[in-house]
Amino acid sequence: MKDRITKRSVDALEKGEFISDTEIKGFIARRLPSGKVTFGFQYSKGGRRPWLALGLHGSVTVEEARKEAKKYAGLVAQDRDPAAEQQVEAARSTNTVDHVLDQWLEKYARDPDHGNLRSADEIESMFDRYVRPKIGSVVIYDLTLTQVVGMLDAVKDSVKEQTKGKKTGGTMANRVRSHFKTALEWWRDGDEKFVTNPIPSKRRGAKEKKRERVLDVEEFRDFWRATFKLEGVQGYFWRTLFLSACRRSEVSDMHLSEFDRGQENWTIPAARYKIKLDHVIPLTPALKPHLPARGNRGDYLFSTTGGEVPLSGFSKFKPRLIKKINELRKSEGRGPIANFTPHDLRRTANTFMIPAGVSAEVADRLLGHVQPGMRGVYNKWAYRDEKADAIEKLAAYVEQLVQPTPPNVVQFPGSGQAQPGAESARQCQPLKCARSLRPKHQERRVGSEPTGLS
C-alpha cells in the first residue's frame, strides 16, 4: 500500500505487507516473514529494478532510512546508478594490493596451466616481507608511484639493517620490483579499470652484475675434502649437487618416486625443473655412492627428518660447509676461502667438464640448458648415455684433482696403470668405484652405510 512511512505505520505492518512512501518515490518499508521490518530504496534503470538495502528497523530509525532514501533519489534524478556505483566501490575495497598478489600467486604463479613458477614460494616470501607490510592494504586503483618507490627504498633499508651494512639491498629491491611489476601487469590484462602504471621505469638498486665465480683447483680440493667432514646428509648433498650439475632445489627435493624401476635414472619432473621439461640424470656408478641412505619415515633422500620432508635451512648449513673449509685452510696456513654460492658449483662443474673431455654440447644437455634455434626444434635425442659418460668423466677429473698423479707419471687411457715420464695428465680413467673420490681415511665399508638406492 502507499502511505507516508512513519514509525506508527511501520509498527502496524503485518507479515508480508509493505508500504511505498508517498513523499519519496522508491522508498519502501517491508515486514519480513521473520517479523522484522526492512527499509529499502528501489528504482528503474536500463530495464533493471535495483534494490538498495537501507537497514532493519531497530538498527536504523525511520528518519535515518528516509534520509538515506532521499540521497539515493537525488542520485537517480541526476541520471546516476547508485547500485552500480556501490558495486564499483565494493570492488575497489576488495581489489587491494594484497588481493592482487593473492590472485596472481594462485591463478598464475602456481597454476600448472599458466605460469607454474618454480620460484613461487620464494616470490611469495618476498611479497610477505617487503610489499604487503608497506602497501598491501592500498586499493590498486589508488596505488601511486610514490608509494611503490617508498616501498622499494624500504627494501634496501631493511637489507642493510639485516646485514649490518654488508649489503646495500639493491639486488633485492630490483627483484621485488620485477616480480611486483609482473603481478600488476597480469592484473591489468583482466581489469579495464586499472589503467595506471605505478612502477618506476628504472630499477631502484644498483646495476646487477652477472656472477662468473668458478672455484679454482685449490678451492675445489678444499670444498671436496670438507664435504666429508659434515654431519648427516649435508656432505652427500654438496657432492651430489656438484657431480649432477643440478640446481640447489632440484637436488634437495630429490624423491625416490623420481627414480626408475632399475634405479638407473633420476627424472626431475617438469613441474620442478626450470625449463618446464622432464630432465633425466643418469645414476652412474660414480654418482650413486654419493646419495645418502633412505630414511625410515619417508622417501625424500636429502632430509633431516628421516625422509618426511626435503632438506631446507640452507642459510644455516652452508656456513657449516664454509667453516669446515676454512678450518682446513687455516690448518695449512692459508686464508679463508672467497664466498661462493651453490650455483657457483654448477658453473664450476660445467667448467671442469671441458678438461675432463666432455663436449660443450653434452655439457649443456647435462645442465639442462634450452637449446637455441633449429637445434632445439629438431634435435630430440635424449643424450642419456652421453650424459652418463659426462658424469663419469667429471668424477674421474675430480679424482685427478683430489688425488693428483705424481708430476712424473701419466695415466694413459685404457692402460689400467700409471706410466712414467710425463709432466701432467690431461685424461684419467673413469672411476670403477666412486669411493676413490673419498679421502683414504674416510672410505666407508661396503654395506656399512647403504646408499639411498639400496
DSSP states of 216-243: -HHHHHHHHHHHTTS-TTHHHHHHHHHH
DSSP states of 362-404: HHHHHHTPPPPHHHHHH-----HHHHHHHHHHHHHHHHHHHSP
Name the pLDDT band for 404 (thresholds 50, 70, 90): low
Q: How far apart are CA 278 and CA 267, in angstroms?
A: 6
What's the chain's Rg over C-alpha atoms? 34
Angle of CA points 389, 392, 397, to nearest 5° = 125
- Give percent of the chain with pLDDT exceeding 90: 65
pLDDT recorded at residue 451: 54
Angle of CA points 384, 390, 392, to nearest 5° = 105
Q: Kindly tell me if the per-residue pLDDT of 29 is higher than 60.
A: yes
Residue pLDDT, tens place only, 103-128: 999 999 988 877 778 788 899 999 99
Say which residue, 357 or 192, is predicted with more confidence. 357
Q: Say if CB 143 and CB 191 are below 8 A apart.
A: no
Give the burial string for 248-283 (b: 16+ CB within 10 Å, else e): bbbbbbbbbebbeeeeebbebeeebbbeeeebbbbb
Q: Kindly tell me if the per-residue pLDDT of 428 is higher than 50.
A: no
Whole-number Cα distances in Å, 341 to 320, 326, 336, 347? 13, 15, 15, 10
* Residue that is written with C-alpha cell 657457483 in the block: 344
Q: How far apart are CA 191 and CA 258, in angstroms?
A: 41
Angle of CA points 166, 327, 441, to nearest 5° = 145
Name the pLDDT band for 453 (thresholds 50, 70, 90): low
Q: How far apart are CA 152 and CA 171, in angstroms?
A: 11
Cell numbers for 131: 610489499
Q: Say if CB 303 and CB 311 are below 8 A apart.
A: yes
pLDDT recorded at residue 407: 56
Name the pLDDT band for 408 (thresholds 50, 70, 90): low
By the 10 Å C-beta count (0-12 exposed, 13-18 middle, 19+ buried), 353 is classed as: buried
DSSP states of 344-363: HHHHHHHHHHTTTT--HHHH
Q: Kindly tell me if the per-residue pLDDT of 225 is higher than 60.
A: yes
| Bridge partners (DSSP) listed for residue 19 | 29
* Positive or negative: CA dihedral 270, 271, 275, 279: negative
Q: Indicate the pTM of the whole model.
A: 0.60
User: To which H or E segment does residue 330 belong?
Assistant: helix 314-331
pLDDT recorded at residue 358: 96
Cell numbers for 61: 530509525
